[in-house]
Structure 1
Amino acid sequence: MTETALPLCSRLTLPTNLPALQQALTRLDTHAWQAHFNRGYHEGDWSGVALVAAEDAPLPLAPGTGSPSSLAWWQGEPAWQQALAPFQASLRAARLLRLGAGARIHEHRDPDLGRPGGCLRLHIPLLSPPGVEFLVDGLQVPMRPGECWFIDLSRPHRVNNPGPGERIHLVLDCAADPWLLALIDEGLAQTPALQPGRAGQAFERFRQQVSEAPALAAQLQALEDPRAFVAEAVRLGAELGLAFSEAEVLGAMRRGKQAWSDQWRV
């Protein structure tokens, strides 16, 4: 596999000592958590604690181009040292990221991740309520605590934590070294098939109903403005008891369903 042909995600064959990491979390000073700098991207608590950051990063959680520097606070914690050890040669940044109960990260892209010369993003869930949705291109990445996942976050992605409880991941940015690319390729064999998120499943049911209902198709066909089309699809779905968002409609169109929306406007 090459850096220019990255998969959407891959579950890596790397063991983690989850109990030790969760115990280390309990020893973390509650005042250490800092609000994420991308304030326009989220609702609710999205915060983090840096372990490794670029020397020229304007904020501990922000990216930089300088050499990676390990912060002193975690050096006495064997659990963090053990978790980061396999990545030391490639590690550019490491941080704990927390999404509180009821919080959500809006859909966005991280264009510097996954592109040639950019970093590769790895997630190791430490705490994760079962209702968390981590959607990439509208598909749920089924990460479980203790697993290590590569995710191509240059693609559209969003996260929702309905709770109860907070979601905390250890998040690593690594150089696209050959050993890591090989590990990602190897992990594809054990990566489960991805399914649409809950709202995505509702949208698929709506799409099927529209294909079988000329009156619904006519309502959409009359709309030439794409924004009006998306808004009307969401409204009609709600009338049918199918809750999905505008992001779901837009994501479906991006994933090759543009033909479906266009056929009602021809």
Structure 2
Amino acid sequence: MSRPAFARLPVTLDLPRLLQALAAIDEDAWRSHFNADYFSGEWSGVALISALDARTELSPGRGEPVHRAAWQHDQRWSRALQDLPLDIVSARLLRLGPGGRIHEHRDYDLDGPDADLRLHIPLLSPPDVDFWLDGQRVPMQAGECWFLDLARAHRVANRDTSARVHLVLDCRPSAWLAQMIAQGLPDTPAPELSDSALQRFQRRLAEDAALSAELQALQDPQIFISRTLALAAEQGLEFSREELRAAMRNGRRQWNEQWSH
């Protein structure tokens, strides 16, 4: 059976303890996210658990999970999660600053039946943060635990004046976790539906053969990007250069993958 796009797990977490541990993190411990092409503003993190062979502590890897300094020096992290029988291979704090944006992308390493499952636990969750997954706004609240299928397209915008911080866990699939996802689905809050400006522009391209042909004739990627942004702005549709680049990367990957199966 295919996985849902998201589900709020029916588990209880000790949010006060997690917030105490978060407050104890030194500001110097936060590191900028390694996917620099995927965000604007401030997107930073602190590794709690990561692979031994990871290029940076925030980067993915295939080696043995290692407890990093923040996890080792503060037992509140492990105690807050001790009632969840999870096989955690990665644990990170991810902070998106005020005005920050994570541009639309997919985490292809999470695709497939044997891939790790990603859980998001919002610790600081201001009201004006939009987390869009598969065209749906996921209404996550502080202290909840959500499974998110981030192999699907997703983006985040922090329109608030304070930071958003999530505890993000990558876990090996298990019968217990599959059961929690299934049990959580009936009570998962309904999402909001919306299209991004880029998606609306893509639909207009599909409907306007002349406009589509004009852009397809542009061979230089930078000229293509600039002209696309200008044409979209003429129609009242605004999206960033980084969002467009991410969509182009996703498009190339999907095009290549269709010939590899």
Q: TM-score range by the shorter chain?
A: 0.7 to 0.9
Amino acid in structure 1 at the alignment position of 2:91: A
- SS of match in other structure, 1:169: strand
Distance in structure 2 (CA, Å) of the matches to 1:226 and 1:171 = 42
Could you tell me whether the CA contact under 8 Å between 2:115 and 2:173 is conserved in 1?
yes
Q: Offset at 1:74?
A: 2.8
Match of 1:262 in 2: none
Could you tell me whether the CA contact under 8 Å between 1:87 and 1:174 is conserved in 2?
no
- SS of match in other structure, 1:126: strand
Greater Cα offset, 119-128 or 109-118: 109-118
Q: Offset at 1:46?
A: 0.6
Q: Offset at 1:136?
A: 0.9
Match of 1:110 in 2: 107
Distance in structure 1 (CA, Å) of the matches to 2:85 and 2:69 = 16
Gap runs ≥5 in structure 1 = 211-216, 252-266
Distance in structure 2 (CA, Å) of the matches to 1:7 and 1:233 = 36
Match of 1:66 in 2: 63
Q: Offset at 1:10?
A: 0.2
Q: Pick from 177, 180, 190 the counterpart of residue 177 of structure 2.
A: 180
Deviations 1:150-191 (A, max 9, x none): 000000111111121000000000011111111111110111
Could you tell me whether the CA contact under 8 Å between 1:199 and 1:244 is conserved in 2?
no
Q: Offset at 1:244?
A: 5.9
Match of 1:225 in 2: 213
Q: Offset at 1:232?
A: 8.7
Amino acid in structure 1 at the alignment position of 2:99: G
Match of 2:15 in 1: 18
- SS of match in other structure, 1:50: strand
Match of 2:140 in 1: 143
Match of 2:49 in 1: 52
CA 1:226–1:145: 2 relative to 1, 3 Å:
farther
* 2:79 pairs with 1:82: yes
Amino acid in structure 2 at the alignment position of 1:170: L
* 2:29 pairs with 1:32: yes
Match of 1:42 in 2: 39
Distance in structure 2 (CA, Å) of the matches to 1:170 and 1:125 = 6
Distance in structure 1 (CA, Å) of the matches to 2:84 and 2:170 = 9
**TM-align CA RMSD:** 3.1
Q: Offset at 1:52?
A: 0.6
Gap runs ≥5 in structure 2 = 217-227, 248-261
Amino acid in structure 1 at the alignment position of 2:211: L
Could you tell me whether the CA contact under 8 Å between 1:46 and 1:100 is conserved in 2?
yes
* 2:116 pairs with 1:128: no
Deviations 1:58-84 (A, max 9, x none): 110011111211124333534311233
- SS of match in other structure, 1:184: helix
* 2:88 pairs with 1:100: no
CA 1:49–1:189: 2 relative to 1, 3 Å:
same
Could you tell me whether the CA contact under 8 Å between 1:114 and 1:120 is conserved in 2?
no
Q: Offset at 1:199?
A: 4.9
Match of 2:159 in 1: 162
* Number of positions where the alignment pairs a residue of Structure 1 with one of Structure 2: 232
Structure 1 length-normalised TM: 0.76
Larger Rg: 1
Q: Offset at 1:148?
A: 0.3
Match of 1:259 in 2: none
Could you tell me whether the CA contact under 8 Å between 1:128 and 1:168 is conserved in 2?
yes
